[in-house]
Chains A and B, each alone.
Chain A
């Protein structure tokens, strides 16, 4: 079925259980899909834009109210919507980082944080992780001291991922923020895998900024995200334009340079808004998500040779798994080689594992029903047994 010339209608999530690690939290709610239908036109949210002509002031649809609600929900003071978390990192980096400034990241930071630092002319310095793949406040303190020795000054900014993209491990943001603030380093919290997934309280963690991803974790169309700030930092990152044209003498009202004026227009914003009540509610029930994840993890770990590379017990539904001594052993002799696993999963109605991956791979169970989690668990065990692997219990 086509939805345009040469464009196949995508039916992945209708036909399969999708365990792609980055797609789970961004699947649209039915309300978001309806909003997409109604607000697909380019400038659709601008019908009722009135002075002072800025996106976050529009009251119909209730965009202004949405901004206030998101700030309150995250326990922060101001919010702007951005075209993806990366644009939030970019705005923060561009505000605080000048050429040659050291910036604190971690060994598990997302690449877009590095690019944001690079674009601002900064120098990346990573807090190393231990064997447990966790970033600690002690390691942060050591790294800050090392940076001070190297640069003669502390880092000007820190980006800390609460849950990292590589292992789905949960890091001590509050502890790291406390250390960073002792050196007056503003802390940007990367909540790409948490905002919209589990409860996030910016002030309780003591961070200056909270960055979230709409398309990764807030059931919103891409590219979308949020950047939240404390009252102190709001004035800096959301400063308004002061530029004046020398010929026309034009000024540009209360537009914000870091936001490049208005940010999300149309379907991305309204999709995020339509999902928001559901997203708020679902974060209160993250325990159910972990229970479903446990069903799948128990099944995977019952397959002899399979190891969990992420922290365990799991605190998040995205997990890195090592199947070198299980599914990869089968690949050595299977006629489909490494492709047999994704192929067999597909036969069970499951998609999202990279075709050919049998060694180390990631999956995410977020948003599944318990029935779907049981189906997935059963499929892993069945595939293992069909291929002669030992299964405990």
Chain B
């Protein structure tokens, strides 16, 4: 296991934390405006990348 795997684990948790904050900000309907939607898309793309890196590191 590598430092990179540890970093990616934290990064993914932090990305999910930012998504959690977005859910709080939009409770209870969770209807996102255009800015929030763009932010969510960016976060989910980051998460995909982070999980992808994790798979490479852990499953290699």
The answer to whether B24 touches A350, judged by C-beta atoms less than 8 angstroms apart, is no
Quick one: CB contact mask for B14-46 with A, threshold 8 Å, 1 for yes? 100110110111111100000000000000000
> In the complex, which residues of chain A have a beta carbon less than 8 angstroms from the beta carbon of B14?
34, 37
Interface size on B, residues (CB 8 A): 14
Taken together as a complex, chains A and B put the C-alpha atoms of A13 and B17 apart, in Å, by 13
Taken together as a complex, chains A and B put the C-alpha atoms of A33 and B23 apart, in Å, by 14
The answer to whether A349 touches B24, judged by C-beta atoms less than 8 angstroms apart, is no
Taken together as a complex, chains A and B put the C-alpha atoms of A13 and B27 apart, in Å, by 7
> In the complex, which residues of chain A have a beta carbon less than 8 angstroms from the beta carbon of B17?
30, 33-34, 37
Interface centre among A27, A350, A371 (most CB of B within 10 A): A371
Question: A371 — nearest CB in chain B belongs to which residue?
Answer: B26
Partner of B20, one of A16, A33, A369: A33
> In the complex, which residues of chain B have a beta carbon less than 8 angstroms from the beta carbon of A29?
21
> In the complex, which residues of chain B have a beta carbon less than 8 angstroms from the beta carbon of A369?
25-26
The answer to whether B25 touches A15, judged by C-beta atoms less than 8 angstroms apart, is no
Partner of A16, one of B21, B25, B28: B28
Return B26 CB to nearest CB of chain A, in Å.
8
Tell me if A322 counts as interface (CB < 8 A to partner B): no
B interface majority secondary structure: helix
Contact A30:B18 (CB < 8 A) given known A14-B23, A37-B13? yes
> In the complex, which residues of chain A have a beta carbon less than 8 angstroms from the beta carbon of B27?
13-17, 349, 372
> In the complex, which residues of chain B have a beta carbon less than 8 angstroms from the beta carbon of A37?
10, 13-14, 17
Taken together as a complex, chains A and B put the C-alpha atoms of A14 and B27 apart, in Å, by 6
Tell me if A375 counts as interface (CB < 8 A to partner B): yes
Taken together as a complex, chains A and B put the C-alpha atoms of A17 and B14 apart, in Å, by 23
Taken together as a complex, chains A and B put the C-alpha atoms of A29 and B21 apart, in Å, by 8
Taken together as a complex, chains A and B put the C-alpha atoms of A372 and B36 apart, in Å, by 15
Taken together as a complex, chains A and B put the C-alpha atoms of A33 and B17 apart, in Å, by 7
Within 8 A of B (CB), among A283-311: none
Taken together as a complex, chains A and B put the C-alpha atoms of A34 and B9 apart, in Å, by 12
Return B29 CB to nearest CB of chain A, in Å.
7
> In the complex, which residues of chain B have a beta carbon less than 8 angstroms from the beta carbon of A34?
13-14, 17
Tell me if A38 counts as interface (CB < 8 A to partner B): yes
Interface centre among A37, A38, A350 (most CB of B within 10 A): A37
Taken together as a complex, chains A and B put the C-alpha atoms of A15 and B23 apart, in Å, by 8
Return A33 CB to nearest CB of chain B, in Å.
5
Taken together as a complex, chains A and B put the C-alpha atoms of A348 and B25 apart, in Å, by 16
Within 8 A of B (CB), among A18-73: 27, 29-30, 33-34, 37-38
Q: List 10 A-B contacts (CB under 8 A).
A: A13-B24, A13-B27, A16-B28, A30-B18, A30-B20, A33-B20, A37-B13, A37-B14, A38-B10, A349-B28
| Leading 4 A-B pairs by shortest Cβ distance | A349-B28, A30-B21, A14-B23, A33-B17
